[in-house]
Chains A and B, each alone.
Chain A
Amino acid sequence: MKRRMQSKGLINLMYVPAVLLFALFIFYPFVQGIRVSFTDWNGYSQNYNWVGFDKYKMMFSDKNVWITIKNTIIYGFGSTFFQNILGLAYALFLDSRIRGKGLVRTIVYLPVIISPLIMGYIWYFFFQYDGGAVNDAIGLFGLAPVDWLSKGPVAVWLITFVNTYQYMGTAMIIYLAGLQSIPKDYYEAASIDGAGGWTKFRSVMLPLLMPSITINILINIIGGLKLFDVIVAMTNGGPGYASSSISTMMYNLYFARQDAGYAAALGNTMFVMIAIVSLLALFYLKRKEVKM
């Protein structure tokens, strides 16, 4: 018995390396970040002053922060919406008996494994003003070239589109797996009860897909709210902060404007924001899953 107790406690040693890494590279910096956000530290000098809540107050009156938060929400929820709709549509289509669907699945999923930075550059070639592929194409119809990326709101939706194009493959694969796990007799039973196509979709398929929907929405929200690489490649957050996300803005504040205190304050705010959104989404979707 004693030996058993000992070995039970001893197995906890197995997670010590993981806990150490978390402590060093996540918790310690996290606590330091709270400290830094109350200072006017510039990121490299030895001297700094305590400024209390100044940096947080600054955020509320900073127009760019509000634009950035709005953009981040579009990146997060916009991508989530489109990725799920398209991913589900593709999954439904490719779940039917059709030859060549394997090839299409491979093509649609390919962008997922490519660096988002490279994906951003590829699409930059489409939306650039001079000789961009899109302007060339609309030129054929006699339309004047458009400076797509220099208009903030347009750029934000284009970046959302690129992120959707890149990661809808993930949603598609997860929905395909979900669809294939639904027993075929369920549909037959529904048919016998006189259910039509739409009723079958709504009352049989959707509820049983709920776990896939949950995981997709969570992955996409978290991914979208963190968006960084694609933006750097396409607009670098510009013009000004018009298409920046919280991630690119922080990068900018720290390295270009050398306002580490402000960057840390923004980081903490973003942390709280994403944590709340993700937890709410998780609880809401989990409750729905059980109810259905």
Chain B
Amino acid sequence: MRKFLHGLKYAVLLFIAFLHVIPFYVLINMALKLPTETTSKWRFPVHVSWDNFANAWREADLSRAIFNNVFITASAVALVVIVGALASYPLARHQSRLNTIIYTVSVACLIVPALTILVPLYKFIVDLGGINTYWAAILTQVTFALPMTIFLYTGFINTVPRELDEAGLIDGSSRLGIFFRIILPLLKPITATVIIIMGVQIWNDYQFSIFFLQKVQVQTIPVALSQFISQFSNQLNWVAAGCLIGMMPMTVVYLFLQKYFIKGMADGAIKG
């Protein structure tokens, strides 16, 4: 009986793994098949061809898109870490009435779906001359990543004993000095969480990028893919190859650092 249950467990485990891999199996099949081969999507290609990848890479200008994605994500994540960590220290430690209001309002922004203010935000960026510029994309990403970042950082700083700050004060450090010398080095684990959660969110963003990055030169992967797909909707094999290339960078990072991804997500949820 016990042996049977044990076997059943592994059967279920295998079944789950199998079930979740199916979408990627079909995607890979399609990406490797020549458009002339019209066999079922379930079937492995008779002739494995890499042409689709070459076509998608060229037509969607994916090298450019990957560069843009890396640049925008890296800048936005760096900024959100700096601005978020700085803002969280006074909000966590110096709880005056004003600061409590500021904290509450900024965390309330978590709930606001960014798209509800899309119309006026878009107009505002147009007026600023920010359409098709990196800075507008980066600053909007940073702004909408900040509520979660502040939420995570203040939660973490609250768990750091205040005695540390007081010891610093007695030693004659300024508040700023305490932040940079005592608090900041302690923030490493939560910073890893922020980088992972916000990095994934900004890397994959489509909602904002589609509005602010319309020109090919500045497009990120999701925007480039969506344009490519509306242009080549009858070349589904190219589309599949494009999707595979598009998901590759993040997937590789995830497979190498999955321990941190999963821990980061769990930590973020528990601290919250």
Q: How far is the CA of A181 from the CA of B13 in the complex (A)?
A: 23
Instruction: For B240, list chain A residues within 8 Å (CB).
Output: 125
Within 8 A of B (CB), among A198-250: 211-212, 215-216, 219, 222, 225-226, 228-229, 232-233, 246-247, 250
Assuming the contacts A11-B89, A21-B142, A109-B261, asked whether A133 and B115 have C-beta atoms less than 8 A apart, the reply is no
> Is the CB of A182 closer than 8 A to any CB of chain B?
no
Count the B residues whose beta carbon is within 8 Å of the partner chain — how many? 89
> Is the CB of A85 closer than 8 A to any CB of chain B?
no
Beta-carbon contact of A247 and B23 below 8 Å: no
Beta-carbon contact of B175 and A11 below 8 Å: yes
Beta-carbon contact of B21 and A26 below 8 Å: no
Count the A residues whose beta carbon is within 8 Å of the partner chain — how many? 93
Total inter-chain residue pairs, C-beta < 8 Å: 268
Q: Least Cβ distance of A142 to chain B in Å?
A: 15
> Is the CB of A173 closer than 8 A to any CB of chain B?
yes
Beta-carbon contact of B143 and A226 below 8 Å: no
Beta-carbon contact of A125 and B119 below 8 Å: no
Beta-carbon contact of A7 and B175 below 8 Å: yes
Beta-carbon contact of A133 and B42 below 8 Å: yes
Q: How far is the CA of A251 from the CA of B6 in the complex (A)?
A: 51
Beta-carbon contact of B226 and A30 below 8 Å: no
Instruction: For A114, list chain B residues within 8 Å (CB).
Output: 204, 247, 250-251
Beta-carbon contact of A247 and B115 below 8 Å: yes
> Of B221, B254, B270, which one neighbours A177 at CB under 8 angstroms?
B270
Within 8 A of A (CB), among B22-48: 23-24, 26-27, 30, 38, 40-42
Beta-carbon contact of B83 and A21 below 8 Å: yes
> Of B9, B102, B121, B175, which one neighbours A15 at CB under 8 angstroms?
B102
Instruction: For B9, list chain A residues within 8 Å (CB).
Output: 96, 98
Beta-carbon contact of B124 and A29 below 8 Å: yes
> Is the CB of B60 closer than 8 A to any CB of chain A?
no
Which segment of A63-71, A150-158, A185-193, A262-270 sits at the interface?
A262-270
Beta-carbon contact of B139 and A228 below 8 Å: no
Assuming the contacts A11-B175, A90-B16, A136-B40, asked whether A26 and B117 have C-beta atoms less than 8 A apart, the reply is yes
Beta-carbon contact of B265 and A170 below 8 Å: yes
Q: How far is the CA of A215 from the CA of B246 in the complex (A)?
A: 30
Instruction: For A173, list chain B residues within 8 Å (CB).
Output: 262, 265-266, 269
Q: How far is the CA of A233 from the CA of B98 in the complex (A)?
A: 44
> Is the CB of B1 closer than 8 A to any CB of chain A?
no
Instruction: For B72, list chain A residues within 8 Å (CB).
Output: none
Assuming the contacts A103-B17, A116-B204, asked whether A268 and B116 have C-beta atoms less than 8 A apart, the reply is yes
Give the dominant DSSP class at B's interface: helix
Within 8 A of A (CB), among B113-172: 113-124, 139-140, 142-144, 146, 150, 169
Instruction: For A215, list chain B residues within 8 Å (CB).
Output: 269, 272
Q: Least Cβ distance of A262 to chain B in Å?
A: 9
Beta-carbon contact of A25 and B204 below 8 Å: no
Instruction: For A122, list chain B residues within 8 Å (CB).
Output: 23-24, 26-27, 243
Please name 22 pairs of A and B residues whose Cβ atoms are closer than 8 Å in the assembled complex, sorted by A.
A11-B93, A11-B94, A15-B90, A17-B86, A21-B142, A22-B106, A25-B124, A33-B119, A104-B20, A106-B255, A108-B16, A109-B258, A111-B20, A114-B204, A117-B226, A122-B26, A226-B114, A226-B115, A247-B115, A250-B119, A270-B113, A270-B116
B residues adjacent to A (C-beta < 8 A): 9-10, 12-13, 16-17, 20-21, 23-24, 26-27, 30, 38, 40-42, 83-84, 86-87, 89-91, 93-94, 98-99, 102, 105-106, 108-124, 139-140, 142-144, 146, 150, 169, 174-176, 179, 200, 203-204, 206-207, 221-222, 225-226, 229, 236, 239-240, 243, 246-247, 250-251, 254-255, 258, 261-262, 265-267, 269-270, 272
A residues adjacent to B (C-beta < 8 A): 4, 7-8, 10-12, 14-15, 17-19, 21-22, 24-26, 28-30, 32-33, 35-36, 43, 90, 93, 96, 98, 100-101, 103-119, 121-123, 125-126, 131-133, 136-137, 165, 170, 173-174, 176-178, 181, 211-212, 215-216, 219, 222, 225-226, 228-229, 232-233, 246-247, 250-251, 254, 260, 263-264, 267-268, 270-271, 274-275, 278-279
